[in-house]
Chain A
Amino acid sequence: MDLKRAIDLAQKQTPLALSAAEAEYMVQEALAAQSRISSRKPVLGGFSWQFVPMLFCSAALLFWWLWPTAPVSEMAGQRPAFDLASRVAPPASALASRLQLPNGDEIAASPGVHFRLVEANANSRAIDLSSGDMLFSVKPLKGDQSFVVTAPGLRVRVTGTVFSVHASAAATVVRVYEGAVEVLMNGNTHNVSAGQQINSDGLRVQREPDALSSVADEFVAARAAWKSQSEETKAAPARQEVSQTRARRATDPTKGTKPVAGRKQRTEVSMPAESPMPEAELTALQPTTPEHAGEADALRQGQRLLAQGRFAEAAELGRIESLPILRGDALRAQGKHRAAVAAYQQSTSMLGTYLAARIILSELSQPLEALNLLSNSPAIGVGSPIRERALALQMQAAVQASQPSKAEKIARSYLKLFPEGGANAFANQVLAP
């Protein structure tokens, strides 16, 4: 087709001629229409109906902004009250939505948090946090109860503590305000104490303030009040029972001795069997420096559990808080001697070695093993705070292992170092012809 020619034809086309009357009619009609339009009264004082959809959209947006967000309502199980005031001036802590579970646990969530309540029953509570900040105040768990928070890259097991979890695309951070939590990430377990925080890369630093710090402080204060109240109501009868038990032991001559039969012995000797070790001794030897303040708290809590006879909980607490001596005491009280020895030997302190050797000797009746353990231990070295006890135990082990020369050597050292020691009589018996 010839496009150029078509364009020429289009240029040359002219409309049909109008008569003068027709042209005048069209002009007058246009002017009349214009005057009709300009004389039309405005509807509703000039209100333009074109703005109606815009107004409707604005109202919908305002309503959507003012209405509470969906995840919070899912958490609470009911729609929160319509609160305009908190939306207008939103301080960070005021925007945190709080929820109290039936067992007294408290949860606070920052706005826009996304999480899923995986499990929520009397024994097991599990929360899957996708993004946002959540703060948990969990009452101490009993028996097989568990409280687990899963966030991107890590998993937090709780025993009874106040902690927060921040999850975002960049990192996941666990902050502990009170007690301690066990964080599982990349196949490793990290125990994070109060005042510390750990992120999903495994970096552990001093806790930094976050959006929910003020709420956390309230939770900690509430827990302190709850603890003092529960201690007054629960600990008093337990302490009374323990003191009664100790009084019965002190007056009962059959308790505290363990006869060793079927072994060659030169002398009938016995060491007092103390179970568990005196609290004063434990607290003196456990770390109580400020950076281990969380451990000291956990240790005191564990001792309370031992005094109340809640050995399983104490053992679990010792495992989670990395307190092997507490765990060993709890296992020993449960009669699990071999497990107690293993727990004691996990301790890097000389007290752990001493306690392990004591169980091996008295409960497992393996004096040779106890002797070897003590011989290589710093517990009998110079400067050891438990040197006197360790030497006495080593001497007893040597006697029971039928190694008289070694026993005599230890007895001489003992008498020389501790002329006023509690095992002097036993040392003299060893050295007697």
Chain B
Amino acid sequence: MAQARLVSLVEPQHLLRDLLPKLRTWLLRYLGPCAVLDDVVQDALIEISRSLSSFRGDSSIDTFAYRIAIRVASRALKKQSRRVAVLRLVPAAPDTIDPHLQLANRELLRQLYDALDGLPHKQRSVFVLCDIEEHSPTEAAAILNCKAATVRSQLRRARNHLARTLGDSNVTWKEVE
């Protein structure tokens, strides 16, 4: 409830300004490199500004915003709005000076997100939250509004599917509590 009171005191534009960079990072990691990223971010911002009045303070405002962002991203994926990745938009990592290595990294990312496209939305969300965003299963369960055990089982299935699809059976996954 304290969170809700705090949010009510803050001007919505300030709140949205703070959330915007986080949203762009979250959605980039969720969707992968794509040209419509900012469109999805804009949709998520509108959805968050609409839902602010219903925020009850049961969770942090970040969790609340993340939950909405994932819902909007899933909807965008269902609409097949995700276009072919425009890799030029993705800036090169600072340590990738070698152009061959840079090309290999882009190819790796493309393969990873192609494999994620083959996952059910729930498994994809769990995988992005736990293995890319490195949230705990409990945190992921709070964002996805489900049980931690469900998150663990979905994560196990997503990992198995990706390892099978990408042909990396020797990968060692981070232990989940």
A: which residues have CB within 8 A of B? 1-7, 9-16, 18, 23-24, 26-31, 33-34, 37-38
Residues of B contacting A24 with CB < 8 Å? 17
The majority secondary structure among interface residues of chain A is: helix
B: which residues have CB within 8 A of A? 12-13, 16-17, 20-21, 24-25, 28-29, 32-33, 37-38, 41-42, 45-46, 48-50, 89-91, 93, 105, 108-109, 111-113, 131-132, 134, 162-163, 166-168, 171-172
Q: Do residues A23 and B112 form an inter-chain contact, with CB atoms below 8 A?
A: no
Residues of B contacting A29 with CB < 8 Å? 42, 45-46
Return the chain A residue nearest B131 by Cβ: A7
Q: Do residues A6 and B46 form an inter-chain contact, with CB atoms below 8 A?
A: no
Return the chain A residue nearest B163 by Cβ: A3
Distance A425 CA – B162 CA, assembled complex (angstroms): 121
Task: Name which of B12, B32, B45, B89 has the most chain A CB atoms within 10 A of its CB.
Answer: B45
Q: Do residues B171 and A26 form an inter-chain contact, with CB atoms below 8 A?
A: no
Distance A113 CA – B34 CA, assembled complex (angstroms): 64
23 CB contacts below 8 A, A to B, read: A1-B167, A3-B162, A3-B163, A6-B109, A6-B166, A7-B112, A9-B105, A9-B112, A10-B29, A10-B113, A11-B134, A13-B93, A14-B25, A15-B24, A15-B37, A16-B89, A18-B20, A23-B17, A27-B45, A28-B13, A30-B46, A30-B49, A31-B13
Q: Which of A3, A23, A37, A38 contacts B20 (CB 8 A)?
A: A23
Q: Do residues A26 and B28 form an inter-chain contact, with CB atoms below 8 A?
A: no
Min Cβ gap A30→B in Å is 4
Return the chain A residue nearest B106 by Cβ: A9
Q: Do residues A5 and B29 form an inter-chain contact, with CB atoms below 8 A?
A: no
Residues of A contacting B16 with CB < 8 Å? 27, 30-31
Q: Which of A1, A30, A31, A34 contacts B168 (CB 8 A)?
A: A1
Residues of A contacting B49 with CB < 8 Å? 30-31, 33-34
Task: Name which of A16, A23, A29, A30 has the most chain B CB atoms within 10 A of its CB.
Answer: A30
Q: Do residues B20 and A11 form an inter-chain contact, with CB atoms below 8 A?
A: no
Distance A2 CA – B37 CA, assembled complex (angstroms): 26
Residues of A contacting B111 with CB < 8 Å? 1, 6
Residues of B contacting A33 with CB < 8 Å? 46, 49
Return the chain B residue nearest A30 by Cβ: B45
Q: Do residues A34 and B50 form an inter-chain contact, with CB atoms below 8 A?
A: yes
Residues of A contacting B168 with CB < 8 Å? 1-4
Return the chain A residue nearest B26 by Cβ: A15
Which A-B residue pairs are the 9 nearest by beta carbons? A30-B45, A6-B112, A3-B168, A34-B49, A15-B24, A6-B108, A27-B16, A3-B171, A1-B166
Residues of A contacting B32 with CB < 8 Å? 10
Min Cβ gap B58→A in Å is 22
Min Cβ gap A206→B in Å is 61
Tell whether A13 pairs with B50 under 8 Å between CB atoms, given A2-B108, A3-B171, A6-B109: no
Q: Do residues A10 and B132 form an inter-chain contact, with CB atoms below 8 A?
A: yes
Residues of B contacting A37 with CB < 8 Å? 50
Tell whether A4 pairs with B171 under 8 Å between CB atoms, given A23-B17, A30-B45: yes
Q: Do residues B89 and A26 form an inter-chain contact, with CB atoms below 8 A?
A: no
Distance A16 CA – B166 CA, assembled complex (angstroms): 28
Min Cβ gap A337→B in Å is 91
Q: Do residues B13 and A27 form an inter-chain contact, with CB atoms below 8 A?
A: yes
Q: Do residues A9 and B13 form an inter-chain contact, with CB atoms below 8 A?
A: no
